[in-house]
Amino acid sequence: MVGKVVVSGISIILVVGVVIGVVAGVHKFGSSGDSGETLTLQMKAVSTICAPTDHKELCMKTLGTYAANATADPKELIKAAVLATLEEMNGSFNFSVSLAANANVTDARVKMSLDDCKDLYQFAVDELQAAFSFVGDSDLHTVNDRVAEIQNWLNAVVSYQQSCLDGVEDAKLKADLQNNLQNATQLTSNALAIAS
């Protein structure tokens, strides 16, 4: 009799242990599955947003960080694309200011072209700030209805970027500006494709 009680007690302990283990395992599996599913949905949203872009790898890299921060909202991803472009353009503007200040330029035309680049880059930054504010302040339906306005801002940025490069005759300065502007140019192209 005592043996049966001991065996029954051990059996109950084992059954309770197995039940606790199964419940804990199901809970853990369910939690990681949900976050994996969420991350997959976010990356699908990024992939969809980046599909029409010419520079998909840069787009995926740029917007992938936003997806990792738990957003799959198209409006937030559009906003992120414009913000990334704005940040790169700010960097290019700062580079042009530094280049104009530090360049040992005796030719007045070269100095004027560098000053023009500063102005054009500032105009580009202003256009990107306007686009970013617009996307941030609008709901997605309003953004969809006013895509042409966003495209105008982004097309203006492309024009300012190209006008700067077209105006610089000094080959080394032009190459320096072009190399520095590469990411901003590609991100602008991506943002324009996304807006389209």
Q: Which residues of 118-157 are buried (b: 16+ CB within 10 A; e: fewer)?
A: bebbbbbbebbbbbbebbeebeeeebeeeeeebeebbebb
Query: Does this model's pTM top 0.85?
Result: no
Q: Give 106's DSSP letter.
A: -
Residue appearing with tokens 């917007």? 63
Whether residue 26 lies inside any domain: the answer is no
Whether 176 is in a domain gets the answer: yes
167: in domain: yes
* Domain contains 10: no
Give residue 65's domain range: 57-195
Q: Are 114 and 95 in contact (CB under 8 A)?
A: no
CA neighbor of 62 nearest in space, from 78, 41, 75, 73: 78
Q: SS3 string of 124-167?
A: HHHHHHHHHHHHHHCCHHHHHHCHHHHHHHHHHHHHHHHHHHHH
Q: Give the C-alpha separation, 111 to 168, whole Å.
A: 9
The pLDDT value recorded for residue 38 is 52
Encoded tokens for 165: 């490069």
What's the confidence (pLDDT) of residue 32? 44
Going residue by residue through the chain, which has 196 residues, state the pLDDT in tens, using 9 for 90 and above.
555 544 444 545 544 444 454 444 434 434 444 445 555 777 788 888 889 989 999 998 888 877 666 566 777 888 888 999 999 999 999 998 888 887 776 778 888 898 999 999 999 999 999 998 888 776 766 667 778 888 899 999 999 999 999 999 889 889 999 999 999 999 999 999 988 8
In the block, tokens 């004027």 appear at: 112
Token pair 């140019």 is found at 185
pLDDT, position 140: 63
Phi, psi for residue 69 in degrees, rounded to 5: -90, 20
| 29 assigned to some structural domain | no
State the Cα–Cα distance between residues 75 and 73, nearest whole angstrom.
Answer: 5
- CA pseudo-torsion sign 60, 90, 71, 130: negative
Q: Is residue 139 part of a domain?
A: yes
Say if 6 falls within a structural domain.
no
User: What does DSSP assign to residue 138?
Assistant: S
Q: Is residue 171 part of a domain?
A: yes
Measuring CA to CA, which residue among 111, 156, 110, 100 is closest to residue 131? 156
Tokens 């990024």 map to which residue?
46
Rounded to 5°, angle at Cα 168 from 155 and 92: 55
State the CATH number of the domain containing residue 96: 1.20.140.40
Residue type, 25: G
Name the domain count of the chain.
1
